[in-house]
Structure 1
Amino acid sequence: MARRILVTGGKGKTGSRVAARLVAAGIEALTGTRNPDLPSDRRFDWADLTSASAFDGCDAAYLVAPTDRTDHLAVMQPMLAEAMARGVKRFVLLSASLLAPGGPMMGEVHTWLAENTADWAVLRPSWFMQNFSEGAHGMSMRQEGAIYSATGTGRVGFIDAGDIAAAAVAALTAPGALNTDCVLTGPEALSYDDAAAIMSATLGRPVRHVLLEPAALTARLAAQGMPHAYAETLSRLDEAISAAAEDRTTDSVERLTGQVPVSFETFAERAVGAWR
């Protein structure tokens, strides 16, 4: 088992939860962040190779790609090579369910890890439930009582970030190399209309799902400060959802962790405070 693990993106939705679970399990977890402010934090920036020292003394690393660009392999590969040179043996990459090996963004990193490392795993979760409470949907929920998408009536196996973190910890601490990818989902596939109905019932007030064309969604995300290329990529993924690309569930969370994944109803009950 790894003795010390660097958690990149350690202040984010999954990274913070991964670090907390590792510490609870008695494993030293270092948080890779651009703005370190705690003793367990290490300065880390994918685009700055001088921050590769964050990997020093670590056996394993949880990899969260930068969210301000889409050419992930170009910026991540030099840092991954540095990590290997500094003694990191195990890599667990957070990718996405629609990003196949060799595909764009984290898909390229997925293939690179499989071809260049001896101990790796790639987690490919569906869309996070926490996007409705901590991300852009959470803001529009609070301000407008609405969520926006270009998903049509397509369904998604929304997954709780806590379940992703549990799967990541299982992969990081497994007795042997997994050397595989796992598509992670929640227990059921829901449309955005279904999600809005569940949140409406939980809150006791209407939540609207506003359906946009992909170009309009791109413009909306860009206006919120997202890089245009990244906004276009997310809009294309919404189009894929509308064509049923995410209409599935898997048993990967239960197989990795031994626990049944959280339902959207349970997530909504826990998230009520974020919407009020």
Structure 2
Amino acid sequence: MLNRPLVIYLGGMSDAAIVTEWIDLKVGNAVMAAYAARPAEPGDYPGVVVGHEIYGLHATARAATDRLASLGAIVIMPDLFHRVAPRAELELHTDRERGLALLRTLSRPEVVDDVSACLDELRRRGAVSANMVGFSAGGHVAYYAATQLPIAATAAFYPGWLTNPDIPLSTPEPTIEATPGITGRITLFFGGQDPLIDAEARDELEAALSANDIQHEIVVYDDAPHGFLFPGRDWYRPEVAEESWSRLADLLRG
């Protein structure tokens, strides 16, 4: 399923053209689809794995992947649901329960295998560093992957369930308990009005990261809701989103 690469010019985001394509990656005995984007011009670029939300390979997640590439990165977004719903692209709101059901099919060993396959592909493509960015449920995947794999920098946007065992990814013990395994830098982005992640959970994460001397930053936008980053949604907050993108660009530059 290797499609012909497509060159895109992202006006307003970057003057640089990017190349996008769908690729297939081998994961154990399975084949996993992934969406890939990179700058059109050759160069030494960091590599980024993207963890998508419960809505799968949605257009907004692909747009975020494109924007990461426009910042100057080789980016791969794996299909985390490939074992049960290949190439799922769910409708916002209306497919939320379906997305949560798919999320509950993910196991820790499987997501580590998926991210590892992407890291291998990034190295094959010449990426100069290995990083990960995740959104919501994908932010949880990114946090856990950072505890298991040599990831230089991780950015997780409003990752839920890190401090409780409410999803299989956060069992048998909450994912926060794996924090000592993080070897790189990590930045967590939250909205202060997010009903899914309260101040107590944020404080627990701060305490765990500090106790383990992990280079980190927790960014809280007091008036922002969950999911503030992606345009085209009621909860999109343009000013907060742009400030987040600026911080993200700095994180990837090292």
TM-score range, shorter chain: 0.3 to 0.5
Where is the helix percentage greater, Structure 1 or Structure 2?
A: 1
Q: TM-score, normalised by structure 2?
A: 0.40
Larger relative contact order (C-alpha < 8 A, sep ≥ 6)?
1
Could you tell me the TM-score, scaled by structure 1's length? 0.38
Higher Cα Rg, which structure:
1
User: Which of the pair is proportionally richer in strand?
Assistant: 2
